[in-house]
């Protein structure tokens, strides 16, 4: 104790020095911890940036902002979609109830009326049909009550089948062997196979694509008119495939359907020298797969 009394100032100074050293050590530790956390965060940010930069496409750099460019291109695309909508006008369902629910009675009456009208239009255009043809609705033609939840899809298909048929009639094809559609109702399970196309509708980000398979007989000018009719239609039609073969040796689709008479070959009149040019147009059997494009509502 005597030594402490004699060296009191030294003892107090040493204690203060120890305290300051402890405070400095604690401060350094806190600073090191902070720097370590900041360094780890910087590494995370750098790793994320390197990952984004390595993506294709990347978000860009100080000179090019690919994100803003992508947004601008998306805006341009949506403007184009709005302008192109004039060429993809929806086909009205039959009956057209303006978004109201269709009843079984209303659809049954509209179906029979539409089939009668299409048969009359075919007769007016001199287009041969299979006997008592129902335009792919044989399963539903005699029904008065339809499968639950199917009337909306059936009404949409009836409108589309009518539009397709009228394009064929306007082109004055020789005969319509059949239109095949995808099954959309439990009632379709009891229909003839010849009425259906083993495919399905596809929905993407922009539209619903519904396929139909059409088989008809005609000469080459009428085929061109059919394709032109789909191309010039205000509704969205895409011809996915076309198959053409000679129709002379083929039987009619329906066993009871009369086969179109074979075209006559014009006689060759002898001329004065040179080769004779003879038009020998052959009747063709054409199978088209056509998709109806129905745009989805834009957000």
> Per-residue DSSP letters for 113-133?
HHHHHHHHHHHHTT-B--TT-
Q: What's the rounded Cα separation, in Å, for the pair 284 and 173?
A: 10
Query: Are residues 251 and 202 in contact, defined by beta-carbon separation less than 8 angstroms?
Result: no
The reported pLDDT for the residue numbered 223 is 95
Question: E-assigned strands of 35-131?
Answer: none
Domain boundaries, the chain: 88-252+281-295
The reported pLDDT for the residue numbered 276 is 57
Q: Does domain 88-252+281-295 correspond to CATH entry 3.30.70.60?
A: yes
The reported pLDDT for the residue numbered 247 is 84
The reported pLDDT for the residue numbered 182 is 96
Digit-by-digit pLDDT tens for the chain (299 residues) are 565 556 655 556 566 656 655 655 656 555 556 667 766 776 776 677 666 556 665 555 555 666 777 778 777 777 776 776 777 889 999 998 776 788 999 999 999 999 999 999 999 999 999 999 999 999 999 899 999 999 999 999 999 999 999 999 999 999 999 999 999 999 999 899 999 999 999 998 888 999 999 999 999 999 999 999 999 999 999 999 999 999 875 544 443 444 445 444 444 455 555 555 555 678 999 999 999 999 887 66
The reported pLDDT for the residue numbered 281 is 75
CA separation (Å) from 250 to 93, 208, 254?
Answer: 35, 35, 12
The reported pLDDT for the residue numbered 241 is 95
In sequence order, which residues have a C-beta less than 8 Å from that of residue 55 and are 6 or more positions away?
none
Buried b / exposed e over 37-74, threshold 16 CB at 10 Å, is: eeeeeeeeeeeeeeeeeeeeeeeeeeeeeeeeeeeeee
Q: What's the rounded Cα separation, in Å, for the pair 38 and 34?
A: 6
- As a whole number of Å, the end-to-end CA separation of the chain is 89
């Amino acid at each position: 104790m005597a030594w402490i009394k004699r060296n009191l100032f030294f003892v107090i100074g040493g204690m203060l020095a120890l305290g300051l050293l402890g405070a400095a050590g604690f401060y350094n530790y806190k600073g090191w911890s902070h720097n370590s956390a900041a360094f780890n965060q910087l590494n995370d940010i750098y790793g994320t940036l390197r990952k984004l930069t390595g993506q294709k496409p990347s978000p860009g750099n100080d000179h090019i902002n690919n994100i803003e460019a992508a947004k601008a291109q998306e805006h341009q695309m949506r403007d184009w979609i709005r302008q192109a909508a004039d060429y993809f006008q929806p086909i009205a369902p039959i009956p057209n109830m303006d978004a109201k629910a269709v009843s079984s009675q209303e659809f049954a009456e509209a179906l029979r009326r539409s089939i009668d009208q299409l048969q009359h239009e075919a007769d007016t255009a001199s287009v041969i049909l299979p006997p008592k043809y129902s335009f792919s609705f044989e399963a539903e033609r005699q029904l008065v009550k339809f499968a639950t939840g199917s009337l909306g899809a059936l009404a949409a298909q009836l409108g589309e089948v009518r539009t397709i048929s009228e394009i064929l009639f306007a082109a004055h094809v020789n005969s319509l062997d059949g239109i095949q559609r995808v099954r959309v109702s439990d009632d379709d399970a009891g229909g003839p196979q010849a009425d259906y196309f083993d495919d399905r509708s596809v929905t993407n980000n922009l539209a619903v694509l519904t396929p139909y398979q059409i088989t008809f007989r005609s000469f080459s000018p009428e085929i061109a008119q059919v394709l032109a009719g789909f191309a010039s239609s205000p509704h969205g039609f895409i011809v996915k495939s076309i198959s053409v073969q000679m129709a002379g040796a083929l039987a009619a689709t329906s066993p009871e359907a009369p086969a179109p008479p074979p075209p006559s070959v014009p006689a060759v009149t002898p001329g004065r020298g040179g080769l004779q040019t003879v038009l020998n147009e052959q009747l063709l059997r054409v199978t088209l797969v056509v998709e109806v494009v129905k745009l989805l509502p834009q957000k």
